[in-house]
Amino acid sequence: MDGSKRSTIKVGSKVKVVQKQDQRSGKLTEGTVARLLTKSPTHPHGIKVMLEDGIVGRVKEVIE
């Protein structure tokens, strides 16, 4: 699933995010959502989240 809609992402969802320093390379980091940081319902580059291990990034893919 696409990560640009806030409604598709819930706390506890497994997602793949791109961190700020990895935006050029497109390297994805997998993890579980701890907090949703973007307040708007959609974002063209993906909803910003914090993973359980403290990593912050924009969601590119929702796994489950």
% of residues, the chain, pLDDT over 70? 100
CA distance 25 to 1: 21
Show the tokens assigned to 14.
């497994």
CA distance 54 to 33: 10
Q: pTM of the prediction? A: 0.92
> What mean pLDDT value characterizes the chain?
95
- H-run or E-run covering 34: strand 28-36
pLDDT at 2: 86
CATH 2.30.30 for domain 6-62: yes
For 8-33, write each residue's pLDDT tens digit. 999 999 999 999 999 999 999 999 99
pLDDT at 64: 80
pLDDT at 23: 94
